Amino acid sequence: MGDTEVLADVVKVAIAVPLSQVFDYLPIGELSAYQTGCRVLVSFARRKVVGVVVGHGQPSVAISKVKSVEQLLDTAPLVPKDIVELIQWAAGYYHHPLGEAWATALPVALRRAEFKAPKEPVVYRPTKAGAEDCSTLLKRAPAQAGLLAFLSESPLPRSAAECRLHDTGWSAPMKQLIAKELVETVRSGLPAELARDRVKHSPELNSEQSSAASAIRKNLHHFYAQLLYGVTGSGKTEVYIDAARPVIEAGKQVLILLPEIGLTPQLLSRIQSALACRVELSHSGLNDSERFLAWQAARKGEATVLIGTRSAVFTPMPQLGLIVVDEEHDGSLKQQDGFRYHARDLALVRARASNIPVVLASATPSLESLHNAAKGQLELHKLNKRAGAAKGPGLSLLDSRSAHTENGVSGELLGRMNEVLARGEQVIIFINRRGFAPVLMCEACGSMTDCNHCDAHMTIHARSRSLRCHHCGASRSIPRACLHCESTDLLHVGVGTERVDEYLTEKFPDYQVLRIDRDTTSRKGELQRHLAMAASGEAQILVGTQMLAKGHDFPNVTLVGILDADQGLFSADFRSIEQMGQLIVQVAGRAGRAEKPGHVIVQSRSPDHPLLQTLLQEGYGPFTDHLLTERKDALWPPYVHIALLRSDSAVAGEARAFLQQVKEWLSASGSEHIKQITIMGPADAPMERLGGRHRAQLLLMSASRKPLHQLLATMRPALEKNPAARKIRWSLDVDPHDML
């Protein structure tokens, strides 16, 4: 009897399609060869696709209808059990199809059946001659000199990917350096012996840093979730580097997650020189092969440290001993489309399952983490002082309604800039809006130029002479006359980075202005090049968007001007004030990092706003205390658990009607969980029309997590089968980062 059942067993395969179910296939050969975590090639909807084996079992349809696997692609599972379980857990928690979760978790290259693992590429290091002072020799070859200096900074050889981040045109100067025998190539993947005696000594930790580091060091052998809350420049990185040392000495691995690829090269150099071990990077700036190789090195235990963005949380690391999530408050750690997971939250889940410590670090922790620290779920380590000799910046708040401003810049700020620049120091002007001006308005009739596809004004981009929608990307030329009344008196209302750049260039002809925003750094390697120009002092005035706010270290910046601090105060989103506060504190933190004291000028059109006052006068701590109280009173996360069902359609009203149907269906379902859940909406999204689609959302909210998740667990498969739901686009977002 048992025999027939065994014969009928099929392989359960997860396939990257938006359906929660897994699919049955008959094995060719031994069923036991189909281990969970092996890839298979199968035919699905008349295509050949790569799926992942997630188990065995009885077929869910008649066995005669089950197709055979085309090919078993791996002889052993690609990922170990802990990662299989993490992916499974995440797909369950976010109520997302398992196949898509797998597709996110594995390197893209592995989704192709014909993918052949590339050879480990060579890496580059200076020869003995190259390690000497070559400045005279390379006087006329600045690109070579720069590249050689970049190689010399690191105790370990550098990869092509790192060199490319340093300089997109790296390959010609590298050939020259090799021809001159100043640089040699070695095979990558070699261990720490490669480190020459160039290991830089880390600064001696101050007493706050030491006590945080020793608290982390005391708890390296079990699950221990910690929040390292230290003001900008307090030396958080040095703390976790110090805590990582014994982990690495014990032969274990360290995973460091970051929100942004722009931050990885800087951290890579620091970690490599402090720990002298093999460090791999994983981020979207790498090509598929490079990403695969980093993943492979971590998975084989050859890479000791992996620094990566979001999806690196799924990387197999057999010896994993510590996870760090830096800038844990940053929204980019949550994926905003497809499989909407939060890398910080999954890092906590992974650390618990692996019984290892995890450190969340930030100068401006999220309200979630502060709340968890208050509840004792995160152990709090605080760093209140800046490290070394650096002093915290002085702050002044300027009323930009009455103060005289020209192109968004007040006279007082200009005066301060003059002083600072004359002393040979640098200035950051922060404005969270790119382009020249956000609105083109007709002076005669008051009409504004709006996007045809979105509920949004089009931004003026003067240099490219175009109007662009920052939401859908639509673009057209700037009209000469008003489309309504034909008047030619068109006003450029408001300011963006381009306008401030232009104005300051004219105002300070003796200084170099550098603009850092998405428009000037869209090409690969440009962000790195811009940041290097800023760090070297080649440019003295840095004008930028939030790209400038994120953890970069510019020790010579002593003045920061924030032009539009209050943008976040009046947004429709529950998280926007929190984000505004984080941004202001992070930008302000760029001032006065070294021995020189810094100053921050915050221009605001609502300087009396109590939350802004609290933030600037009392600091981030009291500011978040207020916000937490507000969230508690208004029943928002972290005091309640929410999920958002979004829908959009080309036809007005359709998405809303669909969500209304879902709501009625949920209410009528008689589910016992429904009583514990508040359903709000359906409502139009804050920007109802985006890219020509009409958007609506339904908010599900519950004081405890369980009933909400039980409801979602039945809702998702029901929606997948529902004929109305199949005709319309919808998505589910658990713990949404924003409601926009």
Work out what residue 209 binds among Zn ion, ligand ADP, none; the CB cut-off runs from 5 to 8 Å by kind: ligand ADP
Strands laid side by side in the 641-649 sheet: 677-690, 693-702, 641-649, 729-734
Q: Which two tokens stand for residue 497?
A: 């980075």
Instruction: Match 């000028």 to its residue by tokens.
Output: 601
Closer of 299 and 470 to Zn ion (Cβ): 470
* Residue 481 near Zn ion by CB under 5 A: no
Running DSSP on this structure, what letter comes out for residue 488?
-
Residues found near ligand ADP in the complex (CB under 6 A): 203-206, 209, 230, 232-238, 387-388, 553
Using CB under 5 A, count the residues that bind Zn ion. Answer: 14
Residue 239 φ/ψ, nearest 5 degrees: -65, -45
Q: 386 or 461: whose CB is closer to Zn ion?
A: 461
Q: What is the DSSP pairing of strand 439-442 with strand 490-493? A: antiparallel
The nearer residue to Zn ion, 61 or 491, going by C-beta atoms, is: 491
Angle, in degrees to the nearest 10, between helices 81-93 and 343-354: 140
The answer to whether residue 487 forms part of the interface with Zn ion (CB under 5 A) is yes
Q: Between residues 247 and 361, which has the closer beta carbon with respect to ligand ADP?
A: 361
439 vs 444, beta carbon nearer Zn ion: 444
Name 255's Cβ contacts closer than 8 Å, sequence gap at least 6.
305, 306, 308, 312, 313, 315, 317, 320, 322, 323, 324, 347
710 sits in which H/E element: helix 705-721
How many angstroms separate the CA atoms of 718 and 716, rounded?
5
Q: Among ligand ADP, Zn ion, none, what binds residue 232 when CB lies within 5 to 8 Å by partner kind? A: ligand ADP
Is residue 448 a contact residue for Zn ion (CB under 5 A)? no
Q: Is 187 in the site for Zn ion (CB under 5 A)?
A: no
Residue 146 or residue 691: which is nearer to Zn ion going by CB? 691
- Nearest Cα neighbor of 229 from 118, 373, 358 is 373
469 binds, among ligand ADP, Zn ion, none (CB under 5 to 8 A by kind): Zn ion
Tokens of residue 735, six digits: 């713990």
Closest approach of ligand ADP to the CB of residue 537, in Å = 16
Q: Which of 151, 469, 495, 642 binds Zn ion (CB under 5 A)?
A: 469
The residue assigned the tokens 């696997």 is 69
The nearest distance, CB 269 to ligand ADP, in angstroms, is: 11
* Residue 487 touches which member of Zn ion, ligand ADP, none, C-beta under 5-8 Å by kind: Zn ion
Q: Each residue of 582-595: b (16+ CB within 10 Å) or e?
A: bbbbbbbbbbbbbe
Which residues have C-beta within 8 Å of that of residue 614, sequence separation ≥ 6? 622, 623, 626
Select the binding partner of residue 651 from Zn ion, ligand ADP, none (C-beta < 5 to 8 A, by kind): none
Minimum distance, C-beta of residue 364 to ligand ADP, in the bound complex (Å): 11
* Contact partner at residue 205 from ligand ADP, Zn ion, none, CB < 5 to 8 Å by partner kind: ligand ADP
Q: Which does 203 bind (CB under 5 to 8 A by kind): ligand ADP, Zn ion, none?
A: ligand ADP
The letter for the amino acid at 450 is D
**Residue 521 · residue 547 · CB < 8 Å:** yes
* Minimum distance, C-beta of residue 456 to Zn ion, in the bound complex (Å): 6
Is 471 one of the binding residues for Zn ion (CB under 5 A)?
Answer: yes
From the CB of 238, what's the least distance to ligand ADP, in Å? 4
Quick one: what does residue 483 bind among Zn ion, ligand ADP, none, with the CB cut-off 5 to 8 Å set by partner type? none
Residues 415 to 444 in contact with Zn ion, rule: CB under 5 A: 442, 444
Spatial neighbors of 607 by CB under 8 A, at least 6 apart, are 397, 398, 399, 613
Cβ proximity to Zn ion, 454 vs 627, nearer residue = 454
237 binds, among ligand ADP, Zn ion, none (CB under 5 to 8 A by kind): ligand ADP
Q: Within 10 A of 153 (CB to CB), how many other CB atoms are there?
A: 15
Q: Which is nearer to ligand ADP, 208 or 566 (CB)?
A: 208
Q: Which is nearer to ligand ADP, 383 or 440 (CB)?
A: 383
CB of residue 328 to ligand ADP, shortest distance in Å = 12
- Does 166 interact with Zn ion (rule: CB under 5 A)? no
Cβ nearer to ligand ADP, comparing 413 with 600: 600
| By CB under 5 A, residue 71 contacts Zn ion | no
List alpha helices for 338-402, DSSP H.
343-354, 367-374
Strands in 500-639 per DSSP E = 513-516, 541-544, 557-562, 599-604
Among positions 287-316, residues that touch Zn ion (CB under 5 A) are: none
445 lies in the binding site for Zn ion (CB under 5 A): yes
What tokens were used for 651? 């036809």
Q: To which H or E segment does residue 189 belong?
A: none
Kindly list the residues in this chain that would bind Zn ion in the complex (CB under 5 A): 442, 444-445, 451, 453-454, 469, 471-472, 474, 482, 484-485, 487
